[in-house]
Structure 1
Amino acid sequence: MATDPRGLRGDAPLLDAWLRFQESPPTPFTIPGHKQRHDLVGDVVAGDVPLYAGLDTMKLSAGVLAEAESRAARLWGADLCRFSTGGATQANQAVALAVAGDGDRVVVSRTLHRSLLLGLVLAGLTPVWVRPEVDRATGLPLGVAPDTVRRALAENPDVRAVFVGDPSYVGTVGDVGGLADAAHEHDVPLVVDAAWAAHFGFHPDLPRHPLQLGADVVVTSAHKSLPAWSQAALVLARTGRVDAARLDAGVEATATTSPAGAILASTDAARALLERDGRDLLGDAIAAVRAARDRLARVDGLVVLDGPGVDPLKLTLVLSATGADGNAVERDLLAAGLPVESADRDVIVGVVSLADTAATLDALAAALATSVERHRGASRPVVGPAAYRVDPVTAVPPREAFFAASESVPIASAVGRTSAELVAPYPPGIPVLAPGETITTDTVAALEQARSAGVRIAYAADPELATLRVTNP
């Protein structure tokens, strides 16, 4: 269904301010330096309106950001909402600063994004790691079991918070309600990185969102399943177990002092659209994914992630039994103008948002089916992503290792040493190795397997993995 974005302006104060700026552009003597001229570097700066002296006065006298955040809080049933122009990365790090203090310990799911692990470094927190259950048939992660968190809390009664990521990058959905119960039994907050789930709770065929299930803090991206600018995200919190002032301070400490107004306005507009038309738009997208899944399930050997424990808006395929190499399939998709979020030898992930239609999903499903048949080969054993197969061994707190004197050593010589760096295949950016962890033969094998499967090792001092950075003895 088509919508008129100007029809949202009455319920989206930041969008209204952005439109008013375009309708009556000033002659600014403020930043940004392009001064709204497009003849200098081109339309690449089109739409770039600052928050300060743009959407609002330099003194923020109109209060449009506060009003927009208040409306988002009401929609999600939160006590507090803050917008992030630094994506879920900034939001995760702000929350890490807010919920505990330097030297404190927190339970952390190993499925979490690198941004949260670097948040541990910034806040001086020490992780008590918990791992998700893994589906044997696909090698992909399920949720962290509530009893796993209960055991971690019972064995570590000084823990200050529980951090999990749900849904997973591949779209599997865990028992967030059970995790909230487990955390609250020990009177600590549950923080959920739900970056991929801004749409949850807004259609009857979707899982409820984490706040509805008892979570205390939720981080979610407005630019993944909603139609906001890149870097748009939200922090949503209930403040019974979280200090609102400290969360505000964490957001301000990690935020730019020159926030991009277009990102903020698009977050506000996406929220208003979700509130007004979300059910209909999501219903159309869910039906389109359903049709694509059904079509792809008829491809011999192709495993299509599906069922009640999977986000209805995610398209995740496991190719192992087809023998096709996902990297070759990805090249076909790129040639057809159909890029996907992630592709390695065994797994392809397509992100679907409420902007998608039956036509876009039909084109993707057809291209996938054709390409898998083109590259079909001998069936391979299922090998899941590297991050879910390694048991982390913490030697020292992440912050200590991150700032320690370090050296680069050949990867074979790094076994037994303490990592000074975070190493994460990307996407999805889930670390195989974190600062402060002992490097094991399993770690090295998992990293080498990821690289051989065609995954980019994006976050490493040496992306070729010939060397690793380790702390000095």
Structure 2
Amino acid sequence: MENKEHTLTENELKKLPPFTQSLLSHALHERDDFDTPGHHSGAFYEMTEEGNIFTKGLGKNAFLADISDSSSLIGDPFSHEGVSGMAEEMAARTWQSDLCRFVLEGTSTSNRICASALLSENDLVLFDRNNHKSTYQGALIQAGARAVYLGSERNGEGVIDTLDPAFLDSDFLRKKAAAIDPSLAQKERPFRLACLQLATYDGLFLNAKMILEKLGPLCDYILFDGAWAGYENFIPLLKDSAVLTFPLGPEDPGILVTQSVHKQLAGFSQTSQIHKKDSHIKGEKRCLPDDILDSAFLMNISTSPYYPLFAGLEMNALIHRKYGKELWEEAFRFSIHLRKKLLKNLRFIRPFLPPIVHGRKWEEADDKEIMNDPAFSSISKDYAWHGFSHAEDGLSMIDPCKILLTSGSLKEYKEGIPAPLISMYLKSKGITPEKSDFCTILFLAEPGDKEGKAKRLVSALADLEKAFEENRPVSEILPECSSLPEEDIRDLSSRFFHFLHEKNVFSLLNTLFSSEHFPDAPMTGRKANQLWLSGKGEKCPLAEAEGRTALEAVLPYPPGICLLAAGETWTKDILSYFLFLEEYGREFPSFMPEVVGLHKQDGKPYVWVLSKDRG
């Protein structure tokens, strides 16, 4: 019997892909639940007034669609059979991979699955120092692999670049590998896996074609963390980053790509997918069997999923298969229009892009020209507008669908507005940016975004700039934020940037990500974690940590990049940065980021290090 209040017509259901159709057909028919989940289609909640309010707020269908894994109608997502297997196969066809696995616990889990499927203890892994903490956890702590790190750079505004091209030289990398394991360094492919960021949190895409040419011969596999990507297949300008579309041969590495479908694709929060492309090396000893990947998958997932999440992944695949190119063309066009409005209306807050292209201002170009000519998005060696001193032509490109704004400088003192203050102001106006750092703030452009949304953002930023020029009191601009000081906005901003320059934050940041300053690692991350779990650690005051071995990664969030990994030694440079952050938090408490791995005790910061006395 149909639940008429919440049902869909047969014609509507037939338009949906197999898994989603089966789920909704089952969910929207009346049934007697004697299985899990225990709320039994919301009936448990409806026994109370508060529960009724809860079900009303979320909508009855959210509970009707929460069905048991005992149902045989939706296939078996854990063995990838039936309609659930068909959903993953459609995603693989859509992105041109050999195999796709839907993960309902986020790309942190996807990265750990990939690392644990490929890496064994003491393997060598080529490791982007910009990697998300989950890749550290999977490769270095869980698997116990040993890393050869790839360095990068921060520009004057603190923008994160992709990779330093100096690290793409095979002889250089073999020497680095030999310092860790001389025998492995002599192998044709010394690295079992390379773990790289396909797209950075600051909105730069890595040229995967160049990476395959330079690093591919050294690696069995490359894992491209595409948490902040996924649409490169559908935007022609990004063709050199769309690694799953490349024709691959027996000399190429196997490819894994993880995607946070919930970030910029059409998925619910937590949804992610893993793509595997390695049929070109099938039969070789280095080839990863699907069964091993699936075993790692089962070790990391829940066997009691919320199936609407899975349906969202299938719907994402269907939408991209049928409409992907036109939808992302629309999003790209929206981002161009927004950038042009920002350039026209703002003075202190500026989009991160080349100001002059082909002798004209960026904003004077035609939309189609911007969408098709890489010069409008390139990070080049000779045109140094971007401020990266180690740039190589073609290695990095501005993400067309991430609008990064800069509002000041870390390198040289100039008038600007603190990005955390901009973020707070926008949120007070009902506008939510993705994230902010010291003087950068990020916005995501998506299919479905409308011009009215862009106008409201530009208007709010213009109002803030006007308040800045008039030096109005912060309490007047943000009356609901009592934690901000009684100060005029221009005075607060001046104090903010003077503080950052006085503390030499630009040099501190670049030191942390340059190879000559990488910390020593007296033990693997896995060993450090085992010692911590077995009681061989102690809490050390942060100020006394220099020279001690870290048992826990330490990182500011965002962006979730480890500045010190478990098993590494606290250096003077790393300690200086975290001591600066503590001082920054005291000076500007409303702007302080979350720092994972710093623990407060009686108001003072402590870190976990290896005990001097391990007895």
TM-score by length of 2: 0.71
Instruction: After TM superposition, give the deviation of residue 414 of structure 1 in Å.
Output: 0.6
Out of 193, 196, 210, the position equivalent to 1:161 is 193
Instruction: Provide the residue aligned with 1:401 in structure 2.
Output: 528
User: Once structures 1 and 2 are overlaid, which stretch shifts more, 412-421 or 389-398?
Assistant: 389-398
What is the alpha-carbon distance in structure 1 between the residues aligned to residue 22 and residue 555 of structure 2? 40
Q: Which residues of 2 match residues 74-113 of structure 1 at below 5 A?
A: 74-113=93-132
CA deviation vs aligned residue, 1:217-271 (integer Å, no higher than 9, x gap): 1000111111211000000011234332211111111111112211111011111
Instruction: Provide the residue aligned with 1:459 in structure 2.
Output: 596
Q: Do the aligned residues in 2 keep the contact of 1:107 with 1:161 (CA within 8 Å)?
A: yes
Q: Residues 254 and 31 (structure 1 numbering): CA distance in 2 closer, same or farther, change over 3 Å? A: same
Q: Do the aligned residues in 2 keep the contact of 1:146 with 1:182 (CA within 8 Å)?
A: no
Residue type matched to 1:319 in 2? S
SS at match of 2:206: coil
Greater RCO (Cα-Cα under 8 Å, separation 6 or more):
1
User: Once structures 1 and 2 are overlaid, which stretch shifts more, 118-127 or 74-83?
Assistant: 118-127
SS at match of 1:101: coil
For the pair 1:339 / 2:436, whether they are aligned, the reply is no
Alignment identity in percent?
23
Instruction: After TM superposition, give the deviation of residue 31 of structure 1 in Å.
Output: 1.5
For the pair 1:244 / 2:283, whether they are aligned, the reply is no
For the pair 1:368 / 2:458, whether they are aligned, the reply is no
User: Once structures 1 and 2 are overlaid, which stretch shifts more, 462-471 or 214-223?
Assistant: 462-471
Instruction: Provide the residue aligned with 2:143 in structure 1.
Output: 123
For the pair 1:19 / 2:24, whether they are aligned, the reply is yes
Residue type matched to 1:231 in 2? Q
Q: Residues 294 and 447 (structure 1 numbering): CA distance in 2 closer, same or farther, change over 3 Å? A: farther
Instruction: Provide the residue aligned with 1:148 in structure 2.
Output: 167
Please list every run of 5 or more consecutive structure 2 residues that lacks an aligned counterpart in the other structure: 1-8, 178-184, 249-253, 282-286, 354-376, 379-396, 409-413, 469-489
Instruction: After TM superposition, give the deviation of residue 389 of structure 1 in Å.
Output: 4.1
Instruction: After TM superposition, give the deviation of residue 302 of structure 1 in Å.
Output: 2.9
What is the alpha-carbon distance in structure 2 between the residues aligned to residue 139 and residue 264 of structure 1? 37
What is the alpha-carbon distance in structure 2 between the residues aligned to residue 209 and residue 169 of structure 1? 18
What is the alpha-carbon distance in structure 2 between the residues aligned to residue 169 and residue 469 of structure 1? 28
SS at match of 2:120: coil
Instruction: Provide the residue aligned with 1:254 in structure 2.
Output: 300
What is the alpha-carbon distance in structure 1 between the residues aligned to residue 236 and residue 202 of structure 2? 21
Instruction: After TM superposition, give the deviation of residue 445 of structure 1 in Å.
Output: 2.3
For the pair 1:314 / 2:365, whether they are aligned, the reply is no
Q: Do the aligned residues in 1 keep the contact of 2:334 with 2:445 (CA within 8 Å)?
A: no
Instruction: After TM superposition, give the deviation of residue 279 of structure 1 in Å.
Output: 2.1
Instruction: After TM superposition, give the deviation of residue 163 of structure 1 in Å.
Output: 0.5
What is the alpha-carbon distance in structure 2 between the residues aligned to residue 433 and residue 68 of structure 1? 39
For the pair 1:444 / 2:570, whether they are aligned, the reply is no
Instruction: Provide the residue aligned with 2:272 in structure 1.
Output: 233
What is the alpha-carbon distance in structure 1 between the residues aligned to residue 526 and residue 34 of structure 2? 42
Please list every run of 5 or more consecutive structure 1 residues that lacks an aligned counterpart in the other structure: none
SS at match of 2:131: coil
Instruction: After TM superposition, give the deviation of residue 8 of structure 1 in Å.
Output: 8.5
SS at match of 1:142: coil
What is the alpha-carbon distance in structure 2 between the residues aligned to residue 466 and residue 164 of structure 1? 32
SS at match of 1:139: coil
Q: Do the aligned residues in 2 keep the contact of 1:104 with 1:159 (CA within 8 Å)?
A: yes
Instruction: After TM superposition, give the deviation of residue 11 of structure 1 in Å.
Output: 5.6
CA deviation vs aligned residue, 1:185-220 (integer Å, no higher than 9, x gap): 124211100101111111324444232356701000
What is the alpha-carbon distance in structure 1 between the residues aligned to residue 113 and residue 72 of structure 2? 24
Q: How many residues align?
A: 468
Q: Do the aligned residues in 2 keep the contact of 1:8 with 1:272 (CA within 8 Å)?
A: no
Q: Which has the larger Rg?
A: 2
Instruction: After TM superposition, give the deviation of residue 124 of structure 1 in Å.
Output: 1.7
Q: Which residues of 2 match residues 345-360 of structure 1 at below 5 A?
A: 345-360=438-453
Instruction: Provide the residue aligned with 2:391 in structure 1.
Output: none
Q: Do the aligned residues in 2 keep the contact of 1:14 with 1:55 (CA within 8 Å)?
A: no
SS at match of 1:129: strand
Instruction: After TM superposition, give the deviation of residue 388 of structure 1 in Å.
Output: 5.6
Residue type matched to 2:92 in 1? A
Residue type matched to 2:599 in 1? D
What is the alpha-carbon distance in structure 1 between the residues aligned to residue 291 and residue 506 of structure 2? 41
What is the alpha-carbon distance in structure 2 between the residues aligned to residue 357 and residue 434 of structure 1? 42
What is the alpha-carbon distance in structure 2 between the residues aligned to residue 303 and residue 450 of structure 1? 26
Q: Residues 428 and 57 (structure 1 numbering): CA distance in 2 closer, same or farther, change over 3 Å? A: same
Q: Do the aligned residues in 2 keep the contact of 1:216 with 1:242 (CA within 8 Å)?
A: no
User: Once structures 1 and 2 are overlaid, which stretch shifts more, 58-67 or 387-396?
Assistant: 58-67
What is the alpha-carbon distance in structure 1 between the residues aligned to residue 143 and residue 525 of structure 2? 10
Instruction: After TM superposition, give the deviation of residue 69 of structure 1 in Å.
Output: 0.6
Instruction: After TM superposition, give the deviation of residue 182 of structure 1 in Å.
Output: 2.6
Q: Which residues of 2 match residues 258-297 of structure 1 at below 5 A?
A: 258-297=304-343
Residue type matched to 1:392 in 2? F
Instruction: After TM superposition, give the deviation of residue 371 of structure 1 in Å.
Output: 2.1
For the pair 1:304 / 2:351, whether they are aligned, the reply is yes
Q: Do the aligned residues in 2 keep the contact of 1:197 with 1:209 (CA within 8 Å)?
A: no
Instruction: After TM superposition, give the deviation of residue 351 of structure 1 in Å.
Output: 2.3
What is the alpha-carbon distance in structure 1 between the residues aligned to residue 341 and residue 428 of structure 2? 22
Residue type matched to 1:228 in 2? G
Q: Do the aligned residues in 1 keep the contact of 2:76 with 2:85 (CA within 8 Å)?
A: no
Q: Residues 87 and 465 (structure 1 numbering): CA distance in 2 closer, same or farther, change over 3 Å? A: farther
For the pair 1:200 / 2:228, whether they are aligned, the reply is no
What is the alpha-carbon distance in structure 2 between the residues aligned to residue 260 and residue 65 of structure 1? 13
SS at match of 2:100: strand
Instruction: After TM superposition, give the deviation of residue 386 of structure 1 in Å.
Output: 7.2
- Say what the alpha-carbon RMSD is for the aligned residues: 2.7
Instruction: Provide the residue aligned with 1:209 in structure 2.
Output: 242
CA deviation vs aligned residue, 1:32-70 (integer Å, no higher than 9, x gap): 111111525322582552461358468679712111111
